[in-house]
A and B are shown apart, each in its own frame.
Chain A
Amino acid sequence: MTAFRLVLACLTLLLSTAGQASPGSRLWATGGVTTIDGSAGGGLVPWALLSGYASDREWGGTLALSRLESDDYSLDVAAASFNWRNRLELSIGRQTLDLDSLVFALKEDFGLEQDQLRQDIVGAKLRLWGDVLYSPLGQWSLGLQHKRNRTFLVPEAIGARDDQGTDVYLSASKLLFAAVLDRNLLLNATVRATRANQGGLLGFGGDRNNDHELMAEASVGVFLNRHWLVGLEYRQKPDNLTFADEQDWWDLFLAWVPDRRLAVTAAWVDLGDIAGLQHQQGAYVSLQVSF
């Protein structure tokens, strides 16, 4: 939990010493929030938006802490990102999945003594073209996420082929002004090439499939006003392991952006079956500070 504490310390410091300087000139909430993979987006799906508020003559970034608690698991994410001139986003994230109720089964069935799965993610996202607000065809970005398991014992035991993998994705985001009851509508579509099992926490590749496959992801959000965004996300996932069926992810989120410096996201998340434990649903909370 060192990464978690480090981010927490920096985050507290940033909040307490928040000066008068604004984190950047892009409009409120146009940097999205921090996904569980550390890239800017919603909760589960990366968007074409780059993190924070840096515009074309500025730089900036974000720090975020997130927690997801499903019926049988809890996931903690500590993440940081840097945005150079709204052109390039670099991000790092550390995920820690507490196996909670799976611990006993692992020991019984596999003789494994493991209570956590940990993964590090390094991400880069390049804005290729356009602006989410001003371009008729929206904003387009190309991103990659290199993921590395820090604990491979369990993924290996259930059939994962590799302890690391790289996702490549293309995202398009567009805000339509006054589109729904005069409220602004944010649309996002992402196509991801991946061979990650449960986002990589259960390793990469498997007996059913060991190649990169194209997955579709989408988000729709409505700005109630410039402080509140409510929306829905969908993330299609591969199903590489015979041992444990994998389902697509869904979430319903509410993000509060009182100020450019702070964003708080709450969501209800449906992750489907994970490592044999069925119907994992639960709550997600994320705190993000921009600088």
Chain B
Amino acid sequence: MTPIRPWLLILILAVTAGCQTPVAAPDDTLYQDLGARSGIADVVEELLYLIVDDDRINRQFRGLDVVSFHRHLTDQLCQLAGGPCTYSGRAMRPLHAEMAITDTEFNALTENLVLAMERNGIATGVQNRLLARLIALYPEVRNL
């Protein structure tokens, strides 16, 4: 037996062990790029201020429990971004079904989210990656 063999064996074992790692770490780069949960919470807080000032949509949010809304939306964005959160609020479709949200209102909210991210220094590319995941919710929010 030449001295090389044990090393080869160890190498093979190491490589195959690597392949057998039970779960790959989830891709949370977007979550990290958004500044983790606290970064997302800051964006949602800014978004709430913008909504209150926006006459196109603030009536839809009247009478809302602000603290609970902030927590739910932060969890939802965190989860969408691949972060370690679980959205525990109501499902999107029943939640919005009776609000009869128009395109005008949906656009206004998207605009405010972009502005909220800008004001928190989120880079353009990171904003776009979050929006790419969020637009999947469009039919549920608009109840289409």
Quick one: which of B93-144 are within 8 Å of A by CB?
102-108, 110-111, 114, 124-126, 128-129, 131-132, 135, 138
Q: How far is the CB of A260 from chain B (nearest CB, A)?
A: 10
Asked if B131 and A178 make an inter-chain contact with CB atoms under 8 angstroms apart, the answer reads yes
* Alpha-carbon distance between A57 and B14 when the two chains are bound, in angstroms: 63
Contact B132 A177 (CB under 8 A): yes
Which residue of A has the minimal Cβ distance to B132? A177
Instruction: Among A57, A178, A225, A226, point to the contact of B104 (Cβ < 8 A).
Output: A57
Contact indicator A182/B108 (Cβ below 8 Å): no
Interface pair B104/A25, CB less than 8 Å apart: yes
By beta carbon, the residue of chain A nearest B129 is A178
- Size of the chain B interface, CB-CB below 8 angstroms: 20
Over the window 23-43 of chain A, the binary record of Cβ atoms lying under 8 Å from chain B Cβ atoms (1 yes, 0 no) is 001110000000000000000
Q: Which residue of A lies closest to B57 (CB)?
A: A25
Contact check, A27 vs B125: say whether CB atoms are below 8 A apart: no
Asked if B125 and A55 make an inter-chain contact with CB atoms under 8 angstroms apart, the answer reads no
Which A residue sits closest to B125, measured CB to CB?
A: A182
Q: Which residues in B have their C-beta under 8 angstroms from that of A71?
A: none
- Chain A residues with Cβ below 8 Å from B128 are 177-178, 182-184
B129 near A57: Cβ-Cβ < 8 Å: no
Give the number of chain A interface residues (Cβ < 8 Å): 21
- Are A25 and B124 touching (Cβ within 8 A)? no
Complexed CA–CA distance, A183 and B127 (Å): 9
Interface residues of A in 218-257 (CB under 8 A from B): 224-226
- By secondary structure, the B interface counts as helix
Set B104, B114, B126, B131: member contacting A55, Cβ < 8 A: B104
In the complex the two chains form, is B131's CB within 8 Å of A177's CB? yes
Q: How far is the CB of B56 from chain A (nearest CB, A)?
A: 6
In the bound complex, what is the Cα–Cα distance between A58 and B107 (angstroms)?
A: 12
Q: Are A182 and B126 in contact (CB under 8 A)?
A: yes
Say whether B103 contacts A226, CB under 8 Å. no
Chain A residue, CB-CB nearest to B108: A25
For B132, give its contact among A135, A178, A224, A225 (CB under 8 Å): A178
Residues of A within 8 A of B125 (CB): 178, 181-183
Complex: A135 Cα to B131 Cα, angstroms = 13
Q: Which residues of A contact B110 (CB under 8 A)?
A: 27, 133
Please, which residues of chain B bring their CB within 8 A of the CB of A183?
Answer: 124-125, 128
A128 to chain B, nearest CB (A): 15
Within 8 A of B (CB), among A52-96: 55-58, 86
**Given the complex of chains A and B, what is the CA–CA distance between A225 and B130 in angstroms?**
15
List chain A residues, Cβ under 8 A from B124.
182-183, 224-226
Chain A contacts for B126, CB-based, 8 A: 182
B140 to nearest A CB, angstroms?
A: 11
Inter-chain contact B135/A27, CB cutoff 8 Å: no
Smallest CB gap from B134: residue in A? A177
Q: Once the chains bind, are A131 and B129 in contact (CB under 8 Å)? A: no
CB <8 Å contact, A226 and B129? no
User: Which residue of A55, A181, A182, A184 is within 8 Å of B103 (Cβ)?
Assistant: A55
CB contact under 8 A between A177 and B135, given known A25-B56, A182-B125? yes
Q: Is the CB of A27 within 8 A of B111?
A: yes
A110 within 8 A of B: no
B104, B106, B138: most-surrounded residue (chain A CB, <10 A): B104
Shortest distance in angstroms between A200's beta carbon and chain B's nearest beta carbon? 34
Chain A residues near B129 (CB-CB < 8 A): 177-178, 182
Can you report 19 A-B residue pairs in the complex whose CB atoms are below 8 A from each other? A26-B107, A27-B107, A55-B102, A56-B102, A56-B103, A56-B104, A57-B102, A57-B103, A57-B104, A131-B138, A177-B131, A178-B131, A178-B132, A182-B124, A183-B124, A183-B128, A224-B124, A226-B114, A226-B124
Which B residues have a C-beta under 8 Å from some C-beta of A? 56, 102-108, 110-111, 114, 124-126, 128-129, 131-132, 135, 138
Q: 5 additional contacts, CB 8 Å, given A56-B102, A178-B132, A182-B129?
A: A27-B107, A27-B111, A131-B103, A133-B110, A177-B132
